[in-house]
Amino acid sequence: MKLGSILGFAIVSTVFLYDACCVSPNRGGGTETGSPAVQGYVYNGDGSSASGVTVTFIPASYNPHGGSAKNLASAAGAVDSAITDSTGRYRFPVMSADTYNVLCRGTGTLAFHDSVKISTTGGAVAPACTLRTPGTLCGSVRLAGGENPENVFILFLGTQSWTAPSDTLGHFATQPLAAGNYRVRFLPAGIIGYNVLDTTLTVRAGKSDTLQPIQLQYSGIPVPAGLRIQYDSMKEIVTLSWNKPTTGSRVSGYSIYRSLNDSNQVSMLLTTKLITDTLYQDSTGVQDLTYEYHITARDTNNQQGKDKNGGIAFHHHTYS
């Protein structure tokens, strides 16, 4: 399922101050004798015991887009939940050994605590959690090559929350989230040339924060951009120039192709050797015909790049 809006990514250096969602009041949390168990306490914002709160433990490495909530139990480690009693206390049998995130859901309030280690022999006493008003985040995700960012999944690892941009500009907004620090993964799905981006995002209790734009860097074979075409009618020479790529893998050179417009002519390679400069002159055209030029970069393995649409960018010039 796609949650209407979930946390957006911010530049890794973006950090927000926030109200702690999980604190340890001066009471509660003693261990018990008997079989190993996971236990803890949940409190309201005024310090009173929070009864009837659902407390869920989810493996900290869980990918919420790996499947629905129904398969949580088959994730890396068992998942369990409990309801707090009148004293705000919860307890259930020990789960599989793993590191878990704790999610607490009250009436209009939430709490989150990350990285609770569970031992199958000793169980665990989780840090006491305090319910607070949830917060939200909004922002935008951008792809350096200009591709459509709508297929970038924004995953809150160790939770059941994920989202994706709602438009081609990459805008997203979160659903209400418990205050805390989240490990967030930006996953480009089916977009060639981009790596996964992992970072940490912070949600503040009762606040709606706008994040700085998140840009995913391109690591594939770069696409030549900024192509400029000039025609010298006296010398009948076409001069092509373009920008040197600033993102992507290392370029060993460029190949220049030309085809005759409005014909079935296959694009012809004009250069038998790679062009190492960002300028090329063609004097082999015929006056009064229209040609299409396209330029592709090649990496150090002689692999040829493509444009953002999966093909080669076409650029027109008419001889007159």
The number of beta carbons lying within 10 Å of the beta carbon of residue 167 is: 11
Asked if residue 285 and residue 208 are part of one domain, the reply reads no
Domain containing 314: what range?
Answer: 225-318
Residues 114 and 167 in one domain: no
Domain end, chosen from 73, 108, 130, is at 130
Residues 150 and 207 in one domain: yes
Q: One-letter amino acid identity for 78?
A: A
Rg, Å, the chain Cα set: 28
- 153 and 125 in one domain? no
Confirm whether 18 is domain-assigned: no
Confidence band of 139 (pLDDT split at 50, 70, 90): very high
Q: Looking at the structure, do residues 118 and 141 belong to the same domain, yes or no?
A: no
Mean pLDDT of 145-165: 89
Are the beta carbons of 95 and 123 closer than 8 angstroms?
no
Same domain? For 308 and 229 the reply is yes
Residue 4 included in any domain: no
Give per-residue pLDDT as tens, 237-286: 889 998 888 777 788 899 888 888 766 767 788 888 899 999 999 988 88
192 with 111, same domain: the answer is no
- Residue-level pLDDT at 306: 67
How many angstroms separate the Cα of 257 from the Cα of each of 35, 239, 264?
74, 13, 15
Clarify whether residues 158 and 181 are in a common domain: yes
Residue after which a domain boundary falls, among 103, 130, 157: 130
Q: What is the DSSP letter of 276?
A: -
Residues contacting residue 61 through CB under 8 Å, at least 6 positions apart: 76, 99, 157, 158
Same domain, 173 and 120: no
- Could you tell me if 212 and 266 lie in one domain? no
The residue out of 189, 216, 243 marking a domain boundary is 216
pTM of this structure: 0.69
Between CA 304 and CA 320 the distance in angstroms is 32
Q: Which of 275, 299, 310 is nearest to 220 (CA)?
A: 299
Residues pairing with 317 in the sheet: 291
Number of residues that this document lists for the chain:
320
The answer to whether 58 and 101 have CB atoms below 8 angstroms apart is yes
CB 110 within 8 A of CB 135: no
Written as six digits, the tokens of 72 are 């949580």
CATH number at residue 257: 2.60.40.10
Same domain, 116 and 175: no
Give the model confidence (pLDDT) of 191-201 as tens digits. 878 889 999 99
Rounded to whole angstroms, how far apart are CA atoms 128 and 24?
Answer: 5
Q: 88 and 172 share a domain?
A: no
Count of domains forming the chain:
3
d(CA 65, CA 162): 7
Q: Is 30 helix (H, G, I), strand (E, B) or coil?
A: coil
Residue 183: which CATH number? 2.60.40.1120
Centre a 10 Å sphere on the Cβ of residue 287 and count the other Cβ atoms it contains.
Answer: 8
Q: How far is CA 157 from the centre of its chain?
A: 11
Provide the pLDDT for residue 35.
62
Cα–Cα distance for residue pair 97/119, rounded to 1 Å? 5
Q: Contact at 8 Å (CB) between 137 and 201?
A: yes
Cβ 123 vs Cβ 32: under 8 Å: no
Angstrom distance (rounded) from CA 145 to CA 140: 15
Domain for residue 19, yes or no?
A: no
In a domain, residue 183? The reply is yes
Q: pLDDT tens digit string along 8-64?
A: 333 232 332 233 344 433 333 344 445 678 899 999 999 999 999 999 999 998 888
